Chains A and B, each alone.
Chain A
Amino acid sequence: MSHIASEQDKAAPDRPLGLYVHVPFCASTCDFCAFYQTKPTADGVERFLAGVANEARLVSWARPVTTVFWGGGTPGLLAPRDLGRLADIVRSHCGGAPVEWSVEMAPASVTPQRLAALKAAGVTRISMGVQSFQPALLEGLGRQHTRAQIYRAYEHVRAAGFASVNLDLMFALPGQTETEWADDVREAVRLAPDHISTYCLTFEEDTALWVKLSQGRVKLDPEHEARLYEATWAQLREAGYAQYEVSNFARPGHACLHNLNTWRMHEWVGLGPSGASQYAGWRGANVADLDKWLELLGRGERATEDRVAATPAQLAEDALIFGLRMNEGVNLADWRARCAEAPWAMVDALLARCNAEGLTLVEGDRARLTDRGRLLADSVGAEVMEAFSVQPVVPA
């Protein structure tokens, strides 16, 4: 199965292809974390690297990789030498230099040596999980870095000369006031990164925070969250960061191409435990367990979780759900052309209603969310899903 070249490879070799590598190691577990991660051991890292190499060979994509994204976990936790080895594996399958290569790092483990290894490998973009500048809030999240470490790490990153730097911030943290959040945003802006991501704290099942929520020790306040969202949008717009997705803001030319490509429903291959792929007509994720991932790989199996056919109708549906979340919106005409059999009448009716209620704007071929609609993107997404579920999707 894995050797079947993607239709997109043959039809349009210039279409973007993303490569995601999930590096599943973290020093400790953050309270809000629902990602697959485990404690790094020398043996674990060895086996992981071998696994990634195997998996890349197994998929063996035909066209060049456009963007690379190392997420986690904390990719930046690997030793400089291991970072180099992972980069070698990736590069050997890229078919040339990718236009964008992002690596996620945690402030506590940013060192000049690691940065040098990454820079040398061709990494173009560092994404740093700052979350907050307030010590008390960082403490509350179970994050393992100090304010001083953030500044030092940022200086190192800038000194290393990457083309693009992102800072991740989180808001609606338990106990966080609107002023405190505005201060965090201001502080991030002061550092002048190229890109800022702001994530509203979500309570995902099986996290320490979820337990607190279910015990009533923290409370949800959607009204407060909405105000923080709106304040963020205004504050970052004024600071010269254009919003291009619910949580993402960039200076001109610095939007994350890798993410844009996933939201536009292009193709990507995910390597590593829990890595998700959408490639060659399929969508699926690797098993979220280092040992099981390796075991399956040994049998030549991957992307076995939630494996579904990425039919044109399925892609059209998701292009709407994820496209609407972007400020550029979604090009309806393109998708209508790619998938005539989707229930467009239902979609049109839904959009007409959303337009009338001030949730969406349809201008020419494009549909996008208004500010109010963006705050309700999940409801709109669920409505889109419902519209598509009305008519059975014709299997490709």
Chain B
Amino acid sequence: MPLTKYTRNFCIIAHVDHGKTTLSDRILEHTNTVAMRVMTDQHLDSMDLEKERGITIKSHPVTMTYRAKDGHDYKLNLMDTPGHVDFSYEVSRSLAACEGAVLLIDAAQGVEAQTVANAHLAFAQKLKVIPVINKIDLPSANLELCTRQLEDILSIPAEEAILASGKAGIGIEDILEAVVNRVPPPRWATYPQLRCLVFDSLYDSYRGCIAYVRVFSGTIKANDQMMLMSNGQKADVKEVGVFMPKMTKIASLGAGDVGYIVSSIKNTSDVKTGDTITLAARPATEMLPGYKEVRPMVFCGLYPLESDDYEKLKAALGRLRLNDAAFVYSSESSLALGFGFRCGFLGLLHMEIIQERIRREHDVDIISTYPSVIYHVIKHGGEKIDVDNPVNMPDPGTIEEIREPTIRASIILPNDSMGDILALIMEKRGVCEHTDTLDQNRVMLRCVLPLNEILVDFNDRLKSITHGYGSMDYELGDYIASDLVKMDIMINGDPVDAFSCIVHREKADAKGRQLCEKLAKIIPPQMFKVAIQAAIGGKIIARDNVREMRKDVTSKCYGGDISRKRKLLDKQKEGKKKMKQIGKVSIPPDAFIKVLQND
């Protein structure tokens, strides 16, 4: 009889605020395990941001023991999943470490966009999904609606739903029993060699990289020599352990276990999420399925507001990268913004989080350039290049076709905002493929949108049109050919790199006009005439003039005190040195920043 018979690996998936944390705590209490919240407070000091936004970036797995009604003690590994689509690959790896998923639905809210996205990910991993309608203690709970949505939208039989309340402690035992009885025991346990799935990793300044793993088959212990199957890298195992929820050293990890491995590897970027760890001496022949190199999808330049902060920013990026292999950066410099970094992120939220952490935790004020995506550019003659920075877009004459990434979005919204949202989707060059009625008040749209169109204000506008009731989730779609052009912004004929962008041809005029106008307004009056132009491949599509300075003469020069006057002019001249020189025009550095901030 395999040891794994009494082990269950599961996770809880839910839309933000549907009660995952509360319910997890209840489950831990019920199994006499230290509460997750206590853990979080104690051990993860830097995660305010996660709590604030109701998302999890780092996994906090925990191992519990539960005496089931059948009289047996079960080892339950509760996996935590990152709560956002940007991290869908990470989510998929966390899910891949489980056999079952508890899907929470807020009884008063019903199915939300993230519920749908998460459920689909769980189905894709072939997990047993246990639907739980949570918060049934709420007077506004609508059980009938929730069960109907389960059936209609997710095709989950209504009878399977468990009614619960994390807050009131209702249904906890039912959920644990369902985990024991409905979730199958660990898969692939009889595979002849060691195979551990890396689902996350953590950087520890003393111990280096700590890999979070789910062991599928075999055993691993300290002093083994392990091997990462994606690249054959070998390392010595220093320690293995489990999450109780505190990291607790044990002798060995075996099939079905969830735990951690400390090895001689220092960098988290060497231990990739989704990789398979095997033993160097007796390696497995096939990796666990689903490994993918994660590639950043969204890029932007990050620059210190104070150029003195460059080193500080560099150090901050380095430290963030230690714990987040999906975040990449390299140095770049911009005429307008000075020295900074080109950064790549999994998605918009990832970008926002990293920027926020740089500001808050590393105390560096930064400005970011317009986000960009990776364009596939096909040149005449068939050569294909990837462009993640508009500055690198080749000459339009050499381009056969530009392809841009799309997303498949699920947008849930109140009926009465339908018209405005459809107009928004149109404006953003999207196509709506499907409309589902969720209930009397809400519909769900499935649409395809170019990724670059949702980078800037899509979510904000969705929220404002729907008065906060709309929600969106998305997954990456295909690349499609589009009529895209690179637009440059020029100051007296000299391009300002930070404002170059890739836009759809039909939107270029409006965007060009808007940018020119904004720059012309923000740049302080100049003594010489300064023209701001937007151009596509040398053709001017919009133009504005910076206001001309009217008067700056100061009159007093008394009694021959030349030096006093000179000092005044010298100050003016020195002030100019601190400015950015675009051709012959001196522009205060914060003018560019203001334009970028205004968006």
Residues of A within 8 A of B (CB): 18, 20, 22, 35, 69, 71, 198-200, 202, 222-223, 225-226, 229, 246-247, 262-263, 268, 270, 274-278, 283-285, 305-306, 308, 318, 321-322, 325, 353, 357, 359, 374-383, 385-386, 389
Contacts and interface: CB of A to CB of B under 8 A. Distances in A.
Contacts, number: 115
A378 B569 contact: yes
Sorting the interface of chain B by its residue count into under 10, 10 to 19, 20 to 34 or 35 or more gives 20 to 34
B559 A379 contact: no
B558 A379 contact: no
A283 B576 contact: no
Contacts of B529: 357
Given A270-B560, A377-B552, 18 more contacts: A199-B556, A202-B555, A222-B549, A222-B550, A262-B562, A268-B560, A285-B561, A305-B563, A321-B569, A322-B562, A353-B528, A357-B528, A376-B552, A377-B553, A378-B568, A382-B572, A383-B527, A386-B573
B528 A285 contact: no
Contact of A262 (B550, B553, B560, B567): B560
A225 B551 contact: yes
A34 to B, nearest CB: 8
B213 to A, nearest CB: 62
A318 B573 contact: no
A306 B563 contact: yes
B387 to A, nearest CB: 37
B566 interface: yes
B553 A20 contact: no
Nearest to A20: B559
B562 A389 contact: no
B456 interface: no
Q: Which of B527, B552, B555, B568 has the most CB of A within 10 A?
A: B555
A90 B565 CA distance: 27
A379 B527 contact: yes
21 contacts: A198-B555, A225-B551, A246-B553, A247-B556, A276-B560, A278-B560, A278-B562, A321-B565, A322-B562, A353-B528, A374-B553, A375-B550, A375-B552, A376-B552, A377-B552, A378-B552, A378-B572, A381-B569, A382-B569, A385-B573, A389-B573
Nearest to B555: A247
Contact of A276 (B527, B550, B561, B576): B561
Contacts of B554: 200, 202, 378
B557 interface: yes
Contact of B559 (A69, A374, A375): A69
A283 B564 CA distance: 12
A18 B562 CA distance: 14
A381 to B, nearest CB: 5
Q: Which of B528, B549, B555, B560 has the most CB of A within 10 A?
A: B560
Q: Which 5 A-B pairs have the closest CB atoms?
A: A226-B551, A247-B555, A377-B553, A382-B572, A306-B563
Given A378-B572, A382-B573, A385-B573, A71 B551 contact: no
B363 interface: no
Nearest to A375: B551
B148 to A, nearest CB: 62
A354 B563 CA distance: 25
A275 B584 CA distance: 38
Contacts of A274: 561
A16 to B, nearest CB: 12
Contacts of A386: 573, 576
B483 interface: no
B270 interface: no
Interface in B435-480: none
Contacts of A198: 555
B570 interface: yes
B552 A222 contact: yes
Contacts of A226: 550-551
A69 B557 CA distance: 13
Nearest to A258: B560
Contact of B562 (A199, A200, A276, A385): A276
Q: Which of B554, B557, B562, B567 has the most CB of A within 10 A?
A: B562
Interface of B: 527-529, 549-570, 572-573, 576, 584
Nearest to B554: A202
A385 B562 CA distance: 13
B553 A375 contact: yes
B558 A71 contact: yes
A359 B560 CA distance: 25
Q: Which of A18, A263, A274, A385 has the most CB of B within 10 A?
A: A385
A276 B565 CA distance: 12
B559 A275 contact: yes
B576 A35 contact: no
B555 A246 contact: yes
B572 A379 contact: yes
A357 to B, nearest CB: 5
A311 to B, nearest CB: 14
A376 B549 contact: yes
Contact of B552 (A268, A353, A379): A379
B553 A283 contact: no
Nearest to A32: B556
Contact of A229 (B551, B558, B560, B568): B551
Contacts of B564: 276, 285
B555 A318 contact: no
A35 B551 contact: no
A199 B558 CA distance: 11
A382 B555 CA distance: 15
Contacts of B565: 321-322, 381
A199 B567 CA distance: 19
A247 B558 CA distance: 11
A199 B528 CA distance: 25
Contacts of A270: 559-560
A188 B263 CA distance: 91
A242 to B, nearest CB: 17
A225 B554 CA distance: 11
Contacts of B550: 222-223, 226, 375-376
A205 to B, nearest CB: 10
B573 A22 contact: no
A357 B531 CA distance: 13
A305 B561 CA distance: 11
B557 A322 contact: yes
B553 A35 contact: no
Contacts of B561: 274, 276, 285
Contacts of B557: 262-263, 322
B559 A22 contact: yes
A69 to B, nearest CB: 7
A318 B560 CA distance: 12
Contacts of A246: 553, 555
Contact of B555 (A200, A223, A321): A200
B560 A376 contact: no
Nearest to A35: B558
Given A382-B572, A386-B573, A20 B551 contact: no
Contact of A378 (B553, B558, B559, B562): B553
Contact of B566 (A18, A247, A318): A318
Contact of A380 (B527, B559, B567): B527
A285 B563 contact: yes
Nearest to B571: A382
A306 B568 CA distance: 13
B567 to A, nearest CB: 8
A132 to B, nearest CB: 15
A46 B529 CA distance: 56
B551 A376 contact: yes
B286 to A, nearest CB: 69
Nearest to A284: B563
A22 B573 CA distance: 30
Contacts of B566: 318, 321, 385
Nearest to A268: B560
Contacts of A225: 551
Contact of B563 (A69, A247, A275, A283): A283
B548 to A, nearest CB: 9
A283 B552 contact: no
